[in-house]
Chains A and B, each alone.
Chain A
Amino acid sequence: MEATREIYWNVGHGVILPMYLFTAIAFAVCAYGFYKRVEVYRLGKELNRLDNLSGRIILLLKNLFGQFKVLRVRGPGVPHALFFWGFVLLFIGTLLIMAQADFSDPLFHIRFLTGHFYKLYSLILDLAGFIALVMLFGLTLRRFLVRPEGLKITRDDYLMHIIITAIIITGFFAEGVRIAATELRNNPELARFSPIGLFVANQFAGLDDQSLRQMHKLWWWVHFILVMGFIVTIPWSKFRHLFTTPANYLFADQREKGTIATINLEEEGVEHFGVDKIQDLSWKDIFDADACTSCKRCQDRCPAWNTDKPLSPMKVVQQIGEAAFTNPQANLIETVSQDVLWSCTTCRACQEICPADIEHVNKIVDMRRNLVLMQGEFPGEEVMVAVNNIEVNGNPFGLAYAGRGDWTEGLDVQQMSDGATVDILYFVGCYASFDKRNQEVARSFIKICNAAGVRVGILGKEEKCCGEPLRKLGNEYLYQMTAQENIEQIKASDIKKIVTTCPHCLNTLGRDYKDLGLDIDVEHYTVFLDRLINNGSLSIEAHQFDYTYHDSCYLGRYKDIIQQPRNVLHAAGGRINEMDKTGYDSFCCGAGGGRILAEEKIGTKISEARVRMATETGAPLLISNCPFCLTMFEDGIKTGGAEGEIIVKDLAEIVAERITVQN
């Protein structure tokens, strides 16, 4: 017998009209729902997120159909991906039915749902539906029975789990009853290609033909109504993520990671800075709230949230959405609260893991801009003192700027102002210049460069704070002032390459300064050393040691520099004992976002939490690559009671201890 089935069997071609009618209405209602939401997105400012459209579309298709970001957290990610692919297949299956039943057959008498193709089609769809059902069941158990901490259950979740489960089950019921009434009797061979349908059919095999047909009509219509119900609820429930999340892939920020909008401070007539109400945000900031499915992966990884501070990146995003849709006049800063806003370390763990490409960090920085630039607010008086110190002396410590280059005494380093010929400009940064512990890193770096025959120059007292903590705290004005002074000095030095031992300076000079007129090669010293070792310029002896390594936020997540430092440490003889939270999952030291200048007054210490993670590996040595991390860990080891258990060193110190050839 031919391998095919009669489309609209039993329900009859009479259903076509009402079916398409109701479907059209459902789609129209759905479209209307989104149209109303677009009105709210538009409360925000314009922003072009459709440039390089073809590139964006490719990313959309990759991320949507590949489910790569969803899969980053395997537990719930794998079931969701499988469920999604199952549904995609079912949807394609429905499209194929429509293609044949409403176009190719009536118009051209072409039927392709026959023979081997139909057998394959049946099998794939049955399996797809089954896998989707099983995965959905697993996800339902997870949400309602296991109840992972922080995963809220809302009205939408009941709606989604119940309606989709019902849709799949009624679909199989309709199929099963149909098979019971047709293939089971006339073409049992074919029925094997619908294994689930066959199973259901066997449960109803005993019924007479008339009962089967009545049941079939019932399940068919129930299934149809459920689907219509589903479509209609999309814009008004979490179902909207079916459209908003893929849209967010399309609208994703294509700029370098960590790019912040540079305010034009010269602009005439601009009296308002930063964000304190919905209208100050861009439409994308409001849209982000609609793309959020409360998966809480951001919250799970937030160093502030995990040390009992009130900041939840997910909550901030959702509060903005709530305000936009229910109270657009609200003062966002009062809604979110200062304690929440100041707690952020801009570590980017939230954005890195978000499966919906939501941009959490810049919303917080924009609100901080309002706090600082419009209200003169700071997280604490000590921060205002540090900020004033940067303004007066170019460093947060308030130490005399004239002494910035004093750490070089006795070392082979040139001052750029002497007009020396050098290979690289070493941008030292405030901590390596002035902080005793971090000066060791600067000295180690020079020692290494000397051994490799690299001529190093510094700006010395002409160097000022790169401005990064200022910028992240929201003080865009002072950041631009201090940045311009650095840019002037760098340009005057006529240098072509900058190397720095600080990831924050790295990001700021290499990326942020571009908006202010400096486009120059800036490299982190770990990448620099990796190259020197590889090309033979630097010779180090491998003295074995056990260690664990901390990927700093501004090197790992911001710059994707994860492997090179490990290469260097391997060449130095190191045996690494990775922490659980490593690489892109690394847990912040707590100093980012300008918080190096602030006292930690809420909750427990982030630095202690990270030191604990390090000691848990059993390694006696923790290695870092950032002056902030080094400072925080020295602190965290002492205050967290880990003294004697673990010590912390910078990668530069390890390498400097192992130099074999002195140039």
Chain B
Amino acid sequence: MKILVCIKQVPDMESRFKINSEGTWYDEADLAFRMNEYDEYAVEQAVQLKEQLGNEPEITILSIGPDRVVEAIKKALAMGGDRGVHILDNKYYQKDPWQVAATIASYAKEQQFDLIFTGMQSQDRGSAQVGVTIAEQLGMACATTLVGFAYDNGTITVKRELEGGIKGVARMKLPAVVTCQLGLNTPRYPTLPNIMKSKKKELQTLPVADLLKEAELTATDKMYPPAKKGGGIVLEGDVGELVDKLLGILKGKTTVLR
């Protein structure tokens, strides 16, 4: 079985963001980078599947971006990926989700992957479109926001997180694309022998121009921080209600509760 996991290296969300000189993305100075959180679930699930199938599947880790993304690819390799593909693009942020998906689809088409894992969305752009678009461009089945995954003999049964906490169950035959959500699994901490091995695994670098033949469908006009509003929210109600409301705000509007 051939598995592809698409990951993105994003800035840590605690960083202080400033808009770049072009006005269309954030400035990379003074930022700490890490693997997109949702992609960690994707890598972990791929590795768990590989272990379930007696280590027969081969996992390819793919990422698009400048040289620094190699660090994220290496971490995914240390978690259990077999080979890495770095699509070198120093202006990755100027591509829209359609182009990102097209780049990946262009690579994946030749490789004939059985299963593609991605994160549900990236923590910086947050479009949540790349995974589904890849499936569309390759004509593969797709399920998103996975919080459950089970493989049995060419068919996968997935649990999806829907609005209001409802879970939806879907079944698909391979080849398929799935996007992963928080709660799917707990990403493993790479062991040192695996970290050492990952340094020797194959890492292929491809220039993005070789793969990207699509024009953008959406253009980024301008990026700016939200206008500062004065005041705050006053919550009213009895203690039980207040607690629920407060928890909702903390969960939805901050990263204090994970």
Contacts and interface: CB of A to CB of B under 8 A. Distances in A.
B191 A399 contact: no
A401 B32 contact: yes
B14 A399 contact: yes
A376 B14 CA distance: 25
Contacts of B32: 392-394, 400-401
Contacts of B34: 388, 391-392
B189 A400 contact: no
A375 B191 CA distance: 6
B195 A477 contact: yes
B15 interface: yes
Nearest to A271: B193
Given A392-B34, A393-B32, A461-B30, A398 B191 contact: no
Given A392-B32, A392-B34, A400 B15 contact: yes
A400 B14 contact: yes
Nearest to B197: A271
A398 B14 contact: yes
B192 A392 contact: no
Interface residues of A, number: 29
Interface in B5-21: 12, 14-16
A373 B191 contact: yes
Contacts of A388: 34
A376 B16 contact: no
Interface in B26-46: 30-34
Contacts of B193: 271-273, 373-374
A376 B34 CA distance: 19
Contacts of B12: 392-393, 398, 400
Interface string A511-540: 000000000000000000000000000000
A290 B186 CA distance: 42
Contact of A403 (B16, B190, B191): B16
A475 to B, nearest CB: 9
Nearest to B79: A376
Nearest to B189: A376
Contacts of A372: 189
A265 B188 CA distance: 21
Contacts of A393: 12, 14, 32
A97 B196 CA distance: 66
A374 B14 contact: no
Best-buried of B34, B190, B191, B192 by chain A (most CB within 10 Å): B192
Contacts of B31: 402
Contacts of B15: 400, 402
Given A393-B32, A399-B14, A378 B195 contact: no
A160 interface: no
A137 to B, nearest CB: 56
A645 interface: no
Contacts of A476: 192
A384 interface: yes
Interface residues of B, number: 19
Contacts of A401: 30, 32
B189 A378 contact: yes
B16 A373 contact: no
Given A381-B186, A400-B32, A374 B16 contact: no
Interface string A378-391: 10010011011001
B201 to A, nearest CB: 16
Given A392-B32, A393-B32, A461-B30, A402 B189 contact: no
Interface in A322-381: 372-378, 381
Given A393-B14, A393-B32, A398-B14, A384 B192 contact: no
Contacts of A378: 189
A36 B157 CA distance: 60
A384 B31 CA distance: 21
Interface string A414-443: 000000000000000000000000000000
Contacts of B191: 373-376
A368 B191 CA distance: 13
Contacts of B186: 381
Interface in B163-181: none
B188 A376 contact: yes
A402 B16 contact: yes
Best-buried of A273, A374, A402 by chain B (most CB within 10 Å): A402
Nearest to B193: A271
Given A381-B186, A400-B32, A402-B30, A373 B192 contact: yes
Interface in A457-478: 461, 476-477
Nearest to A394: B32
Nearest to A373: B192
B254 to A, nearest CB: 13
Contacts of A377: 189
A558 to B, nearest CB: 27
A477 B190 CA distance: 11
Best-buried of B14, B188, B193 by chain A (most CB within 10 Å): B14
Interface string B118-158: 00000000000000000000000000000000000000000
Contacts of B192: 265, 273, 373-374, 476-477
A434 to B, nearest CB: 11
Contacts of A272: 193
Contacts of B30: 400-402, 461
A384 B195 contact: no
A450 B30 CA distance: 29
Best-buried of A376, A377, A384 by chain B (most CB within 10 Å): A376
Contacts of B33: 392
A502 B16 CA distance: 27
A272 B196 CA distance: 11
Contacts of A265: 192, 196
B55 to A, nearest CB: 17
Given A265-B192, A388-B34, A400-B30, 10 more contacts: A265-B196, A373-B191, A374-B191, A374-B193, A376-B188, A391-B34, A399-B14, A401-B32, A402-B15, A461-B30
5 contacts: A375-B191, A385-B258, A393-B14, A400-B14, A400-B32
10 smallest CB-CB distances across A and B, nearest first, come from A376-B189, A373-B192, A402-B30, A400-B15, A392-B34, A400-B14, A393-B32, A392-B32, A392-B12, A376-B191
